[in-house]
Amino acid sequence: MKIVHPAIIAVWAAVIAAGHLLPAFPMIGTGRPFSLASVLFPLSGIFFGPIAGASCSAIGGSIGSLIAPHTAWLGAGTFIIGTVTAFTTGSIAWGKLPPASISANGSIIINGGIIVYIVGTILWFTQEIGRSVISYPLIFYGLGFLAMMAGIIFTGKILKGKNYLLKFPAIWLCSFGGLIGGASIGNFFGLVLYKHPKETWLTLMFIAPSERAIFALAAALVGVPLLIGLNKIGIFAGPQPEEEDQKH
């Protein structure tokens, strides 16, 4: 893993916190709005890796919930969703092939994004309503899982390369997979706290992927110029070629 300077984490966390002041559109089923921070969470993971990216999102999300409580649909715990989103997205963008393997000492190494999807799916089926709507995780989580696997396979080389046009679909793919990964954990809290009926989840089954696709598109529009610009000024954002300096 690359070492990210604490100052960079602090600055990006501040940007995320400020993003909470700019709501986007209402989140169906909670009565609270999405905020611009929803676009920045996946970029944290893409720019700085799963651990540092999750740290940025946790700090920024916590502060954002305090200064913009109207966006905090889980109260003080809302930062968990953004943190998981950043971690999942970073695991996709920075993941190595194969995504699951056995090390020399016999331990199993699994990409962190895969673990998030497994945990999110298990949590869904711990609830009675969740067990009654099998099609929801099958479609919603399934789309995210496919995007995650495609991202792990294809986006690493693209993000390290110099083809700027390909970086746009690469960031979209990573962001879409990461946003749904975060949603898989958030949906569990939705099941427990809001107890929406089966009909609501059947409706969200088609709306939720569209929402995440739009936010992933916004993340790509913001992320590509930032990725290029940050690297040009010496802040090495995103996976770097092996021969380049490994430290931020």
Please give, one letter per residue, the 3-state secondary structure of 229-241.
HHHHCCCCCCCCC
Q: Following CA atoms 38, 41, 43, 48 in sequence, which dihedral angle do they give, to the nearest 10 degrees? A: 170
Which residues are bridge partners to 23 per DSSP? 35
| 7's tokens | 């100052």
Whether the per-residue pLDDT at 6 is higher than 90: the answer is no
Is 189 inside any structural domain?
Answer: yes
Full-model pTM: 0.90
| 66's tokens | 């305090």
Whether the per-residue pLDDT at 41 is higher than 60: the answer is yes
Distance CA 216, CA 233 (A): 25
Q: Average pLDDT for residues 129-141, to the nearest whole number?
A: 94
Label each residue of 20-75 as H, E or C.
Answer: CCCEEEECCCCCCEEECHHHHHHHHHHHHCHHHHHHHHHHHHHHHHHHCHHHCCCH
Distance CA 127, CA 141 (A): 16
In terms of residue numbers, what domain contains 46?
6-232
- pLDDT tens digits for range 15-39: 999 988 876 666 555 455 667 888 9
Overall domain count for the chain: 1
**pLDDT at residue 190 in the model:** 87
**pLDDT at residue 25 in the model:** 64
- pLDDT-derived band at 243 (thresholds 50, 70, 90) equals low
Is 110 inside any structural domain?
Answer: yes
Is 216 inside any structural domain?
Answer: yes
Whether the per-residue pLDDT at 245 is higher than 90: the answer is no
Higher pLDDT, 69 or 226: 226
**pLDDT at residue 74 in the model:** 77
Distance CA 27, CA 86 (A): 19
Distance CA 187, CA 191 (A): 6
- pLDDT tens digits for range 175-203: 999 999 999 999 999 899 888 889 889 98
Is 166 inside any structural domain?
Answer: yes
Is 246 inside any structural domain?
Answer: no
**pLDDT at residue 45 in the model:** 95
Is 165 inside any structural domain?
Answer: yes
Is 237 inside any structural domain?
Answer: no
- pLDDT tens digits for range 188-242: 998 998 888 898 899 889 889 998 999 999 999 999 999 999 888 888 888 887 6
Is 245 inside any structural domain?
Answer: no
Residues 50 and 94 sit within 8 Å (Cβ to Cβ) = yes
Give the max Cα distance, the chain: 53
